[in-house]
Structure 1
């Protein structure tokens, strides 16, 4: 079997595999779990038996139900309606009765010894709260427990019999704390310490209160509701994705020629394999999930761009095509692995620490990264080797990189710093003005701020298109042009539920009159209730902690890989720059901030860190080659940025194309999400080229000056 025949079989094998995964993914596309925004689901409203529950009881119950509802879907939403009602929306579910039966059961809290014997239950606990002690100038976070009369006696007996042993606090069969008993405790009060942080103490205390709550729920109503974005959202998103990928393929073919063809085939395989894995892992796909897919597509293309740039450089140095391909993959490997592993670390942390939409984003991103690595490092390489063996040996087919013009980025770095500083300071000024004028730094939408939920029973069944065209404008007119209105149909009825910002009495009256006049229905068929935000305080805290830990882990990884804290600190500052620029956009244009804001920021973080690592990889290579000693630090940095400039521009273009298509062809909520994402992509390109490298240069220069100063002072002595 000759080499050419083997290559032909190899090419056919990849093409057949690509076709198979695409067909398999397409045939089973309906099996991909979709979120409430894309597919609808079950909506249940509970009412407390006690007509006047406390705010703390309601808050704890919402959090408890959020944790339980997420066993059905990470995208489940739980929020208050009025003073004693709680709504739960679960995507993809159809059996409201089964969900009602399980969610309505209170959580079970038990205190058990090391042998599993139950010592106390939630009925014995009066309350629990987080606190802080300060003994000998040492701060400690603690959980304060208060037991009722019966519980105090049981707890005293339990601690007396378990001195030196652990007592396990178990909620729904999961150990949430296992404090060691130091002595017998009487009086009905106890504290658990030390706890890592106040947030951790508060979370455990909240869970203990949940298990101890006497609040009971009864079903008020349950419905199967349609997709909040409408069926057209899926069609338009698929159309946008298809056009975006087609344009990316065209761009790669025009710029990179034969390697562009290889990457295009690999990209199509990526899409098919991604769809299959989304089904296999039962990932719930929502708007933030789509963001994760977009980012991983960008990273898949980016890996190929890095490789092809290296191949062009090798050809420009006079190497044969075979040697150029081999060297190109070898030299690109470190940048690709570092960029993807860093983002994968972030995805893992976000999945483990995050909740709701953050988990959906992390799941699709992690799957996408693994698939993109496989397609870029193995499939693209196999295709290029097959093309070569089949006779594609002309360097012109691969493109030959001309000598790179070294741009003096270091010389103009202060101007770049100033431009970025002006934008960011303007952003902070806008946040202050927004706070002063509206009471909020951002234009929060329903997910964060809550609002009003209006249920209308029409005389006939309206389509979502009719709702958008005939009903939504009435809400916007009544609320002074509020664009945050969200509509959903109740399956099997003529009911439509529309959520808006909180409406005043006058606005409600105006709305009711408009609806009655236009649709000739009576006022009793229009019911409005105030609702809380779907993104709870705990979910916001989870998201912030997840992002903080993810950034910290990325910093540690970069520090270890590059063996220099200055690389890590520069990359994190560049990342913070991109987040702040995006925040400036939200503040300046009063762009709606909802649950998708979190996904947008996470996407920008992943994109930014990947772009920066590519530049730092070249700087590291120049250091290893001795360029710093030969030509100076300034030249080494300028050369690294100049050599990666084409990659930075091309990757930004391909990712921007995909997101722009979503903006152009998507529904309003998708446009609201994609616009700030485009701002983040542009900012990421700017910071990776003009900010990150120069920052590292300044840190190194400052460190060098400090060392020289210290040595000079030492020599004087």
Structure 2
């Protein structure tokens, strides 16, 4: 068995344990810092919306890409002085294609920009493709994306509530999902990647992944906390922490296996292809899978424990467990000194003989557990409970 497998077995049995729930304040602070950085990037830099959302015109043509391609094509498009042109967005697609995006233009201006791009690329005008996307269509795409996200979160809340019979589990899962979306969107704002329909698909996909991981942990929590209020051995946080330890190796394994191919796609889409839906989709998947695994281990179970331990029944359980642990600690600490205290306090061995304990009886004063049971005869003398062999059957 590998070292990771051995560690997983020890974590599952409780032989080795990390206090995930006990250190929840630290993980909450880490998440708040990540969310704050994401929101700062979102409000200061903003999202770089793709042409599908804000509308505009997209031109593409084949050209040998050089270090000055982006600058040369940008200057060529600006030289047309098209009305409401703004700053064109020039990106390279691989090593033999260039893409230029502008704001919505009139048909005459579109023709001017096409001619300028063709002249700069050294190709005929008919080899420059153009596609105009209206702003209203982009707004419809954005509205549908937001609606899909809201419907998804609503269905998640209802499904988890129905499965676990626990609305607090739904609340913890939804907060973890919002946590994942916020950080993923913040990374997009900080990196500057275009937000395209592929990005929306990636975000919805990683929400499903994060939810799957969270449900696995919650299912183990439910198993460990079944009937917990009828005992006084563990608190809800203790049982939840055990559940996280029992599933953390599985979460690590599945996350690493998922990140390897997604990371490869991200590298190819960024450094080889340069742009396109592949890059947008892979970034959302990579960031979302990593953050989703983090939230399912460190955030969602801790939130569930916080919510549940506010219940009166769980607070009573905490008091019982605390009292039992204090009693156990108090009884185990002076255990070795008890026999000395009894003998000394009685002024010798008299008190010990007057009230002997079963385990403190002197040798020979009582029959050993292996001795044959005896019973009193009519004369009051102890006799064996079984007849002698010579008198059996008579």
Offset of residue 419 of structure 1? 1.3
SS at match of 1:652: helix
* 2:363 counterpart residue number: none
How many angstroms apart in 1 are the aligned matches of 2:154 and 2:104? 42
Offset of residue 573 of structure 1? 0.7
The number of aligned residues is: 296
Q: Deviations over 1:87-109 (max 9, x none)?
A: xxxxxxxxxxxxxxxxxxxxxxx
* 2:65 counterpart residue number: 469
Cα pair distance change 1:478/1:679, threshold 3 Å: farther
SS at match of 1:411: coil
Q: Deviations over 1:365-421 (max 9, x none)?
A: xxxxxxxxxxxxxxxxxxxxxxxxxxxxxxxxxxx9775522112221111111111
Q: Deviations over 1:683-709 (max 9, x none)?
A: 11110111001101111122339988x
* 2:366 counterpart residue number: none
Q: Deviations over 1:410-467 (max 9, x none)?
A: 2211111111112212222222223xxxxxx3110111112224477xxxxxxxxx54
Say if 1:451 and 1:502, in contact at 8 Å, map to a contact too. Answer: yes
How many angstroms apart in 1 are the aligned matches of 2:267 and 2:315? 54
* 2:268 counterpart residue number: 665
Offset of residue 673 of structure 1? 2.2
SS at match of 1:702: coil
Say if 1:571 and 1:609, in contact at 8 Å, map to a contact too. Answer: yes
Say if 1:478 and 1:507, in contact at 8 Å, map to a contact too. Answer: no
Offset of residue 468 of structure 1? 6.5
* 1:410 counterpart residue number: 21
Q: Deviations over 1:662-693 (max 9, x none)?
A: 12334332123212321111111110111001
Cα pair distance change 1:402/1:621, threshold 3 Å: closer
Matched, 1:501 2:105: no
* 1:600 counterpart residue number: 202
TM-score, normalised relative to structure 2: 0.63
RMSD over equivalenced CA pairs, Å: 4.1
* 1:694 counterpart residue number: 302
Counterpart among 130, 139, 144 of residue 542 in structure 1: 144
Cα pair distance change 1:639/1:486, threshold 3 Å: same
Matched, 1:451 2:56: yes
Say if 1:408 and 1:638, in contact at 8 Å, map to a contact too. Answer: yes
How many angstroms apart in 2 are the aligned matches of 1:625 and 1:705? 12
SS at match of 2:219: helix
TM-score, normalised relative to structure 1: 0.36
Larger Rg: 2
Say if 2:196 and 2:280, in contact at 8 Å, map to a contact too. Answer: no
Say if 1:404 and 1:643, in contact at 8 Å, map to a contact too. Answer: no
How many angstroms apart in 1 are the aligned matches of 2:290 and 2:76? 37
* 2:290 counterpart residue number: 682
SS at match of 1:500: strand
Cα pair distance change 1:541/1:642, threshold 3 Å: same
Counterpart among 140, 144, 166 of residue 564 in structure 1: 166
Say if 2:202 and 2:285, in contact at 8 Å, map to a contact too. Answer: yes
**Consecutive unaligned residues in structure 2, runs of 5 or more:** 78-86, 317-394
Say if 1:486 and 1:499, in contact at 8 Å, map to a contact too. Answer: no
Offset of residue 476 of structure 1? 5.3
Matched, 1:519 2:105: no
Cα pair distance change 1:454/1:548, threshold 3 Å: closer
SS at match of 2:309: helix
SS at match of 1:624: coil
Say if 2:88 and 2:102, in contact at 8 Å, map to a contact too. Answer: no
How many angstroms apart in 2 are the aligned matches of 1:679 and 1:591? 13
Say if 2:308 and 2:314, in contact at 8 Å, map to a contact too. Answer: no
Offset of residue 537 of structure 1? 3.0
Matched, 1:640 2:251: no
* 1:294 counterpart residue number: none
Say if 1:445 and 1:484, in contact at 8 Å, map to a contact too. Answer: no
How many angstroms apart in 2 are the aligned matches of 1:527 and 1:638? 58
Offset of residue 484 of structure 1? 5.1
**Consecutive unaligned residues in structure 1, runs of 5 or more:** 1-252, 258-307, 317-399, 435-440, 457-465, 488-495, 709-717
Say if 1:404 and 1:642, in contact at 8 Å, map to a contact too. Answer: no
Q: Deviations over 1:49-96 (max 9, x none)?
A: xxxxxxxxxxxxxxxxxxxxxxxxxxxxxxxxxxxxxxxxxxxxxxxx
* 2:312 counterpart residue number: 704
Of 502-511 and 620-629, more deviation after overlay is shown by 502-511
Cα pair distance change 1:582/1:517, threshold 3 Å: closer
Alignment of 1:252-331 (within 5 A): none
Say if 1:453 and 1:497, in contact at 8 Å, map to a contact too. Answer: no
Say if 2:172 and 2:300, in contact at 8 Å, map to a contact too. Answer: yes
Cα pair distance change 1:643/1:468, threshold 3 Å: farther
Q: Deviations over 1:244-292 (max 9, x none)?
A: xxxxxxxxx98999xxxxxxxxxxxxxxxxxxxxxxxxxxxxxxxxxxx
Alignment of 1:153-172 (within 5 A): none
Say if 1:451 and 1:532, in contact at 8 Å, map to a contact too. Answer: yes
How many angstroms apart in 1 are the aligned matches of 2:314 and 2:2? 49
